[in-house]
Every structure is written in structure tokens, then in C-alpha cells.
Amino acid sequence: MNKNTVLAWATFIMLVVGLGLIALGAFRYDDVAGWGFASVGVGFFAIAWVFNALKGRV
């Protein structure tokens, strides 16, 4: 695997984990913890976006 493939897999895994955290925040926790899970999920999306932008440049 080259560097671009590793970044693509990392992006995919980060998106899956981010979706899982947002789903936990939306459907499992109804109190303040839900907001925390959802915000961490959005953070995972931001990091996945950076990984996707680095493909081809590293």
C-alpha cells in the first residue's frame, strides 16, 4: 500500500467512526453527553477532511 491508499483508508475509517459517534449522540444519549458525542463526531469528520485533502500531496 502506498501513502495515498493509507490516507484513503484512514479517511474511510474516520468517517465511519464519526458517523457512529454522531449516531450515539443522537439516538442513545438524550442528555448533555449526547452533545459531546455529536461534537466529537463532527471533529472526526474534520480530521477525515484533512486526510482526504492530503491525498496526492504527501
pTM for this entry: 0.84
- What pLDDT sits at residue 30? 85
| Whether 7 contacts 52, CB under 8 Å | yes
**Angle subtended at Cα 39 by Cα 35 and Cα 43, rounded to the nearest 5 degrees:** 170
Q: What is the pLDDT of residue 16?
A: 96
25, 35, 51 from 3: Cα distances, Å: 33, 34, 11
For the segment 21-36, what is each residue's pLDDT rounded down to a tens digit?
999 999 999 889 999 9
Say how far apart CA 9 and CA 37 lie, in whole Å. Answer: 23
Q: What is the mean pLDDT of each run of 10 residues along the chain (58 residues)?
A: 90 95 92 93 94 84
pLDDT at 49: 93
